[in-house]
């Protein structure tokens, strides 16, 4: 339908007038409703996100400091929320061997019985943690309460350092990133390295143990942690060819680190398996937990890929705990990892 109007100068002009068939009241209501919805969407989009909780911020800080390199050689600390490392004095690590497994392992965790993450390409760093702990009220090692070690271990591998051994073809290198909580003494973090089957004539500075040789890096001192803080502790190990190997420990809202030249054991390029767990505090000791204890263990890796590692049933330390292993799961993506549970 068309309406006409007259223009005195140009005659009759035909102008289309659109008929919607919708009443003015209804049309106005729809426009108002649409405008109201748009305003609600804009308000929702503009609303500030809920602030992160202290626990979330601390967790993010732990991840950030674990991936932040230390500025040089030696011992360092950092404190939440900062990510700058401060150099501190090192101390001498305990002259206490954390022994390689004798195998075959038993039913409980340790002495070769454990889950480990295996990769197809060399690992440059790994982080061990306990995302979930339930039912834990007591732990002892040879009767001493709250005494244990957290170990992030490599597998046994062919190291160039073995060439100086008595029978080089039988020698294997081994790396342990160690956190020791030895109540009532002060705890600490250090690296213990081994030349297994090297022979009796150990390299200078190395200690003999039967036909093996072992060496401890310097130690960074860490105050003893309460057993209730175990879930907040994580151990990170990194290796750099031609540079340093580094162990980092975050406990509550503080981080600790110590370095050692990679040339001492040549882990870089040879690290393709990572084991992490809680064990007795050296010397083949056992961490004994109260009945009803259940822990989830996570080993997160960086190897330059997004491939999921392989869960292998293998362990490399003689130290143990009295928990039994449950199913292991592997995941790929930006943070490849394995997780498993252990309980009694």
Give the model confidence (pLDDT) of 26-35 as tens digits.
444 443 444 3
CB-based contact 324:344 (threshold 8 Å): yes
Q: Quote the pLDDT of residue 108.
A: 79
**Which residue in the block uniquely carries the two structure tokens 């190997």?**
245
Nearest to 123 by CA among 344, 290, 310, 313: 310
Q: Quote the pLDDT of residue 102.
A: 80
Q: How far apart are CA 113 and CA 286, in angstroms?
A: 13
Nearest to 298 by CA among 344, 245, 233: 233
Q: Quote the pLDDT of residue 47.
A: 60
pLDDT < 70 stretches in the chain: 1-48, 103-107, 183-184
Q: How far apart are CA 1 and CA 49, in angstroms?
A: 53
Burial class of residue 240 in the structure, from the number of CB atoms within 10 Å of its CB (0-12 exposed, 13-18 middle, 19+ buried): middle
- Could you give the 3-state DSSP secondary structure of residue 257? strand
Q: Quote the pLDDT of residue 58.
A: 92
* Contacts of residue 315, Cβ cutoff 8 Å, sequence gap at least 6: 101, 105, 109, 110, 111, 112, 113, 114, 115, 116, 153, 275, 277
Q: How far apart are CA 330 and CA 17, in angstroms?
A: 68
Supply 2's token pair: 């068309």
Residues 53-85 as b/e (b if ≥16 CB within 10 A, e otherwise) read eeeeebeebbbebbeeebeebbbbebebeeeeb
Helices (H) and strands (E) in the chain — how many of each? 2, 24
Q: Quote the pLDDT of residue 200.
A: 86
CB-based contact 214:197 (threshold 8 Å): no
Q: Quote the pLDDT of residue 104.
A: 57
Q: Which residues partner with 296 through β-bridges?
A: 132, 341
pTM: 0.85
């Amino acid at each position: 339908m068309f309406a006409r109007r007259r223009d005195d100068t140009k005659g009759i002009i035909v102008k289309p007038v659109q008929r919607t068939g919708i009443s003015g009241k209804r049309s106005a209501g729809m426009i108002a409703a649409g405008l109201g919805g748009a305003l609600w969407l804009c308000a929702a989009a503009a609303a500030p996100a809920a602030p992160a909780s202290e626990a979330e911020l601390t967790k993010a800080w732990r991840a950030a400091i674990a991936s932040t390199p230390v500025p040089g050689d030696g011992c360092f600390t950092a404190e939440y929320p900062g990510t700058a490392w401060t150099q501190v004095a090192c101390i001498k690590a305990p002259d206490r061997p954390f022994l390689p497994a004798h195998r075959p392992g038993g039913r409980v965790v340790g002495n070769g019985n454990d889950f480990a993450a295996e990769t197809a390409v060399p690992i440059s760093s790994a982080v061990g943690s306990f995302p979930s702990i339930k039912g834990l009220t007591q732990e002892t090692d040879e009767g001493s309460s709250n005494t244990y070690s957290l170990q992030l271990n490599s597998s046994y591998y062919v190291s160039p350092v073995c060439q100086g051994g008595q029978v080089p073809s039988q020698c294997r290198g081994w790396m342990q990133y160690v956190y020791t909580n030895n109540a009532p003494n002060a705890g600490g973090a250090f690296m213990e390295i081994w030349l297994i089957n090297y022979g009796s004539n150990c390299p200078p500075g190395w200690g003999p143990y039967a036909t093996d040789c072992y060496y401890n890096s310097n130690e960074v001192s860490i105050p003893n942690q309460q057993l209730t803080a175990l879930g907040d502790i994580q151990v990170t190990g990194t290796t750099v060819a031609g540079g340093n190997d580094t162990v980092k420990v975050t406990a509550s809202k503080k981080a600790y680190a110590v370095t050692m030249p990679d040339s001492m054991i040549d882990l870089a390029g040879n690290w393709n398996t990572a084991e992490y767990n809680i064990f007795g505090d050296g010397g083949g000791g056992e961490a004994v937990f109260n009945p009803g204890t259940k822990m989830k263990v996570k080993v997160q890796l960086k190897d330059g890929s997004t491939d999921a590692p392989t869960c292998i049933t293998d362990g490399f330390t003689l130290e143990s705990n009295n928990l039994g292993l449950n199913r292991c799961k592997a995941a790929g993506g930006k943070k490849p990892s394995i997780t498993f549970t252990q309980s009694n």
